[in-house]
Amino acid sequence: MNDALVEVHGLRKYFPIRGGFLRRAVGNVRAVDGISFTIDRGTTVGLVGESGCGKTTVGRTLLRLTKPTKGTVLYRFPTMARDEAALYREIPEGVRPLSLTIFSILFFATGLAIAVFGALLLLQPFMFPNRLLDQFGVFAYYPREFALYSLVGGIGSMVCAILLWFIQPIGRTASQVLLGAIFIVNLLGFPAGVVIGFLGLAFFAFLSRGSVKAAFRRTSVEDAQAANPDSAGPPEPAAAGGINVARLTPKAMRILRRRMQIVFQDPFSSMNPRLLVKDIVGEPLRVHRVERWWCPRCRTSPLMEARTIKLSRQFTERKAPPGPCDICHGELVWTRRPFTGREVRSRVATLLERVGLNVEHLYRFPHEFSGGQRQRIGIARALALNPEFIVLDEPTSALDVSVQAQILNLLKDLQRELGLTYLFISHHLAVIRHISNQVNVMYVGEIVETAPTEELFQAPLHPYTKALLSAIPVPDPDAKMQRIVLPGDVPSPANPPAGCRFHPRCPVAFELCGWTALEVTSALDDVFKEKEHGGAREPNLVQQVEIEDDLSFRLVVAPGTAGEVQRFTGAVVRERAETRRGLKAVESVDVDGDSVIVRLHEGRAPVLKLAEPNHAVACHLY
């Protein structure tokens, strides 16, 4: 039985780099680049790596706080109401939204009418002698010099309708630009073009909405059933393969957010300093509406009055009233109305007491608390709607060591009590070892190793993981550990290295790791300078270095010295390959006229694969 709550497949998140006057995309920052992993229900998965490797972006993308560029994020919830399952239905391929169809046809037909009107007006002197069209009043009083405006505006409107029909990113952008221009053109053709002009303005406003993509994708259940007659009703999440967050409409995403929350790294910056604690923790209750049994006399519900943070299903299922009101013994009614102030205060007080705060803290501002207390408030806010999955984005990095232990123990107690599932993001490997069941190691947007916690700490496989673990201080003055110091800096995700992204810093990199000609020439240049200082004459014979492609470069030498430089270069490669790992990529050094051509081994990017049972690594050594 598949017990995974979250499944990530090929997740990518690129942030465009824009430049120039038109702010066109000139590149991408590959913050997350094709990662895959699973999070089992009731477990904690740790995500570690250096700053800038994409850990926080992964957490935010799982919650769709940032929209993924590509890939799927599947949630498999064990239970779901039938009306919720209908919202989570994925749109079948080939079903075109009804609103888009109507708008496109209307826009095309109106544009065609205006284009025909402009053409008739423009061709009247040639096709209709003796002013035959003057019997139609609109032709008689319409200025002839504006005929071309109507013709151009009508044709432009038809083009926009076609672009809207094939609703692709290029089509959406082109439609927005054309609609703005056509609105002006059609207004110049007043009065015949005024209708299509204002229709174009309406389309422009419609396309500029932030939810345009979701609105265009939205389709009715009847349309989906017509496209797939075999599906009689909304499928269960397990049967449908899970809920793909990347394809949800805003309405469905709003409902899903009740089941997943996030605790931020800096609790103070994630809170509104102008709100009281009761308003900060109670905000999710005001944003979301929960169907429940409610007492109209006391204006509260047993769900909120219960002194437990786990929302009982007997108060949220419309089967039979759980009994009379515990306060006034009145009859309960089923409602979806917003939570009342009494319900919110009661729920917030329960949450604060569970995370170690007092009811007196309800009427304080965030700046009146310490860092640990603010983080407890953030945890209480995340628990307000009884979620099943929580992303913990370095929740202890800004806290003292003693406070860190308290927060970690609180999180573990809440997990045992509520059956929560965590994605724990942190730099602190000791914290990861304490709280996580599974660890994923990230480097420049990719997962390089994943294994159960104890197995990874006892027997790491990837060189990067070994370097991270060597940096953990040992509380024993007599213990001696060899620290692995990585050279250089973390590469930019906007221009990651070819092949294995860790190879420029890897102490055991070899020819298959993806060295490029630029990297090898840099290493060779450093060695040549050392040899030159040592008295060697061969480096002075090299006049120019020409990079032909990623796998070859040419040393242009003085006439008649190619053989000498070729022998010297080959000896340098054999001698210094262990200390200058880039030289291991050299496959051959050959003479070619008055130059020496150096060819490299072709590298490739490693694939994350199992090296041992339950232990996967992305490295050419395994």
- In which domain, by residue range, is 548 found? 515-600
Do 347 and 271 fall into the same domain?
yes
Is 292 within the bounds of a domain? Answer: yes
Angle between helices 341-354 and 277-287 (to 10 degrees): 120
pTM of the model: 0.75
Q: State how many domains the chain has.
A: 3
Is residue 137 a part of any domain in this protein? yes
266 and 379 within one domain: yes
Q: What CATH number did the domain enclosing 562 receive?
A: 3.30.1360
Residue 421 resides in a domain:
no
The pairing of strands 70-75 and 243-244 is: antiparallel
Both 204 and 307 in one domain: the answer is no
Assess if residue 289 is contained within a domain: yes
Task: Count other C-beta atoms under 10 Å from residue 295's C-beta.
Answer: 21
Report d(CA 551, CA 565) in Å as an integer. 20
Residue 556 lies in a domain: yes
Q: Which of 336, 371, 386 is the last residue of a domain?
A: 386
Label the pairing between strands 421-425 and 389-393.
parallel
Residue 409 counted as domain residue = no
Residue 113 lies in a domain: yes
- Residue 558 is classified by DSSP as -
Residues 171 and 264 in one domain: no
* Distance, first Cα to last Cα, the chain: 30
504 preceded by cis ω (within 30°)?
Answer: no
What lies within 8 Å, CB to CB, of 236 at 6+ separation is: 80, 85
Q: What is the Cα–Cα distance from 442 to 448, expressed in whole angstroms?
A: 6
Q: Are residues 301 and 205 in the same domain?
A: no
Q: For residue 492, give the DSSP letter.
A: P
Check whether residue 267 and residue 380 sit in a common domain.
yes
The answer on 264 and 202 residing in a single domain is: no
Backbone angles phi, psi at 352, to 5 degrees: -65, -40
**Cα distance between residue 613 and residue 461, in whole Å:** 13
What's 216-250 look like in SS3? HHCCCHHHHHHHCCCCCCCCCCCCCCCEEHHHCCH
Cα separation, 129 vs 127, in Å, equals 6
Domain boundary residue, one of 386, 421, 451: 386
Locate 153 and state its tokens.
Answer: 């505006």
Structural contact between residues 315 and 308, judged by C-beta atoms closer than 8 angstroms: no
* pLDDT given for residue 256 in this prediction: 85
Taking the C-alpha atoms of 532, 534, 537 and 541 in order, what is their torsion angle to the nearest 10 degrees?
-10
Q: What is the mean pLDDT of each run of 10 residues along the chain (622 residues)?
A: 83 90 84 94 94 92 92 82 59 49 68 73 60 51 60 71 58 56 55 53 49 40 39 38 77 85 89 93 86 78 72 66 75 80 88 92 92 93 92 89 90 93 92 94 95 94 93 75 83 91 92 92 89 79 88 90 90 89 91 91 92 93 90
What's the pLDDT score for residue 1?
43
Do residues 186 and 282 share a domain?
Answer: no
Residue pair 277/352 in contact (Cβ under 8 Å)? The answer is yes
Q: Please check whether residues 287 and 198 belong to one and the same domain.
A: no
**Same domain? 203 vs 287:** no
Domain boundary among 182, 215, 248: 215
| 23 occurs within a structural domain | no
What is the per-residue burial (b if ≥16 Cβ within 10 Å, else e) of 222-256?
Answer: ebbbeeeeeeeebeebeebebbbbbbbbeebbebb
Q: What is the spatial distance between Cα 67 and Cα 249, in angstroms, rounded to a whole number?
A: 12
- Sorted by sequence, the CB contacts under 8 Å of residue 420 that are 6+ apart come out as 42, 387, 388, 389, 390, 414
Is there a single domain that holds both residue 264 and residue 382? Answer: yes
- Do 290 and 203 share a structural domain? no
SS3 category, 425: strand
